Copies of this chain bind each other. A is one copy, B any other.
Amino acid sequence: MTLPTLVRVVGTGLLGTSIGLALRARGVDVVLTDPSPTARALARDLGAGRLAGPDDVPDLVMVAAPPDVVADVVAAELAAHPDAVVTDVASVKGGPLDALRAAGADLTRYVGGHPLAGRERSGPVAARADLFAGRPWVLTPSAESGDDALALVRAVAVAVGASVAVMDAAEHDEAVAAVSHVPQIAASLVAARLRSLPENAVALAGQGIRDVTRIAASDPQMWTQILAGNAGAVVRTLRAVQADLTELLAALDALSDPSVTGARATIAALVASGNEGQARIPGKHGSAPTSYAHVVVLVPDRPGELARLLHDVGSAGVNLEDLRLEHSEGQPVGLAEVAVLPAAEQPLVEALRGLGWNVQA
């Protein structure tokens, strides 16, 4: 796969600057532009490329603009650089493609893209050359996209370490509605209920609600733009959620009416559906989900104690597949839940106990 010679990055926020850094690290010439003079100068100073000049003739343009302007920017770049392939990194793909088609843009040279590599922070300062390492990067060629155009964009995504997935724009939007946008909304809905809760009730929050609401801390403006940009697919998935919720509420209400039967079956069926869906989420490294054994160890809350534990896990020759820390309310001790392959559980428990660890198994 041949990398482009000169890449023009339009928009030097987190993603644009990270792409510049990643390509510069691989020796590709990169020119940068952004409506904000501060943002483009910062990206240059960080090493993401040089400032774009009027004589630069890119063979690939990467548009890293917000979703609500991405179609206009892509159309302008296709017109300004008639020999270049143009791609973008917006998190919604159907709307921009429709807008480009309606505007009569040259779609043979356009391939939409979406690297799934956000961070909590934004802006060029948060950029990193390895932002895409090991992350999915979806490419959404249209019927008009040329094979060469797809190959060029794919080469860049692969070069920066991403795992490329190809699907059409509508499939992409339905997928991210279900795996990203609706989970975000659910987290916000649950977290919003905590606003008016008494202090002693909030104090009962355990690991479950912490996990469910972690992403509820996200930026409202960014999420408004993402949800608005993918409103069609988000609404379809949310309506299905709404239907399940309405059915559940009816079942909970019916419990107080002894003449209605089957309410408990409805509740159990919803929880069972959640079991099935959750089990489909791929495990570590994209492999099929594996049932790990979980070994729970009490760890004193002092510097170095968790390190000592994991050193002892490593010494036992056991690979740690996952690790979760549980926070104990009011106690100077934590619980470390170490996930290992089932065959490693007993040997690990014995090894750790032999070294004096308080293992709960």
Q: How far is the CA of A282 from the CA of B329 in the complex (A)?
A: 9
Q: How far is the CA of A180 from the CA of B197 in the complex (A)?
A: 13
Q: A209-B183, A249-B239, A329-B134 are in contact. Are A192 and B274 (CB under 8 A)?
A: yes
With beta carbons under 8 angstroms apart, the residue of B195, B277, B283, B331 that contacts A133 is: B331
Q: List B contacts of A182 (CB < 8 A).
A: 190, 193
Q: List B contacts of A328 (CB < 8 A).
A: 133-135, 285
Q: List B contacts of A135 (CB < 8 A).
A: 328-329
Q: List B contacts of A163 (CB < 8 A).
A: 329-331
Q: How far is the CA of A309 from the CA of B307 in the complex (A)?
A: 7
Taking CB atoms and an 8 Å cut-off, the chain A residues in 113-159 that contact chain B are 116, 120, 128, 130, 133-136, 138
Q: List B contacts of A221 (CB < 8 A).
A: 268
Q: A165-B203, A201-B171 are in contact. Are A285 and B331 (CB under 8 A)?
A: yes
Q: List B contacts of A128 (CB < 8 A).
A: 360
Is chain A's interface secondary structure helix, strand, loop, or mixed overall? helix
Taking CB atoms and an 8 Å cut-off, the chain A residues in 231-280 that contact chain B are 231, 234-235, 237-242, 244-246, 248-249, 252-253, 255-256, 263-264, 267-280
Q: How far is the CA of A128 from the CA of B358 in the complex (A)?
A: 11
Interface centre among A133, A301, A329, A332 (most CB of B within 10 A): A329
Q: List B contacts of A190 (CB < 8 A).
A: 182-183, 186, 241, 274, 277
A255 and B228 within 8 A (CB)? yes
7 residue pairs bridging A and B, Cβ less than 8 Å apart = A175-B204, A179-B205, A211-B211, A242-B249, A285-B301, A308-B311, A323-B323
